[in-house]
Amino acid sequence: MNALRNKVLLIGNLGNLPEVKEMSTGKKMARLSLATNESYRNAKGEKVTETQWHNVIAWGKQAEIAEKYLIKGSEVAIEGKLVTRNYVDKSGVKKYITEIHMNELLLLGGKS
């Protein structure tokens, strides 16, 4: 059960190309912007689609795969964990960021 304590599973589409950086150690890190859509019918019977955007971080081999195979619009399934961090901006205001640190990546859809 411990493996279920902080687990995120999402299927969505990339909003842009992965931003890949190579660290001084040679390890790669990729930032992904993932959109998930949820549809429902409102009180008038109209279909409404809501989009949520998620910040995803990939390290090492997962970052290399993202860099090599992912393009804007790619449909992917990701598994990871939620991580919240904070920092102080230039104005001295404390900001919080929630990200998903990806453990697994599955490419969905057809070949492009």
- Express each pLDDT in 9-51 by its tens digit: 999 999 999 999 999 999 999 999 999 999 999 999 999 999 9
Please report, in angstroms and rounded to a whole number, the separation of the first and last CA atoms in the chain. 38
Q: Report domain extents, the chain.
A: 2-107
Rg (CA), the chain: 16
Dist CA 76 CA 54 (whole Å) = 13
Confidence of residue 109 (pLDDT cuts 50, 70, 90): confident
At the topology level of CATH, where does 2-107 sit?
Answer: OB fold (Dihydrolipoamide Acetyltransferase, E2P) (2.40.50)
